[in-house]
């Protein structure tokens, strides 16, 4: 199976509010609230880490779910967000400022993640 890479779209803004991750699409101003698993996938969507690795290393470790089920559900989730322009999906690493800058800013600031 070919690897799938995911990155946050530059056309969204995101913020963790308490226990929730809220995303707003700049395309149509729609607000999305992610589940705990969705928030893990969103935060790990750096464009460089394959989805299967994110699922194995983060989702399966943080939640009581087997890898096959978690990957299938993650692929469905990613597809739905990609259809709405929230995530970028590719068969090779995605190198964009949207994929790299928010994580670097959040890491250096030590604050909730904002994605312009």
Q: CATH number of the domain at 63, please.
A: 3.90.930.60
pLDDT digits (tens, 9 = 90+) for 89-110: 999 999 876 444 444 334 333 3
| 33 part of a folded domain | yes
Would you state the pLDDT for residue 103? 43
| 25 part of a folded domain | yes
**For the chain, percent of residues with pLDDT exceeding 70:** 82
Check whether 27 has a pLDDT greater than 70: yes
Q: What is the dihedral of CA 60, 65, 69, 75, to 10 degrees?
A: -50
> How many whole angstroms separate alpha carbon 100 and alpha carbon 70?
25
| Residues of the domain holding 14 | 5-105
């Amino acid at each position: 199976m070919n690897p799938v890479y995911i990155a946050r779209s530059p056309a969204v803004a995101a913020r963790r509010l308490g226990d929730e991750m809220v995303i707003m699409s700049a395309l149509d101003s729609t607000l999305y609230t992610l589940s705990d698993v969705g928030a893990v996938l969103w935060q790990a969507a750096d464009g460089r880490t394959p989805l299967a690795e994110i699922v194995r290393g983060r989702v399966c470790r943080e939640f009581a779910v087997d890898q096959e089920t978690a990957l299938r559900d993650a692929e469905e989730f990613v597809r739905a967000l990609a259809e709405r322009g929230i995530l970028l999906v590719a068969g090779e690493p995605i190198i964009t400022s949207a994929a790299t800058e928010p994580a670097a800013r959040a890491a250096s600031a030590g604050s909730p993640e904002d994605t312009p």
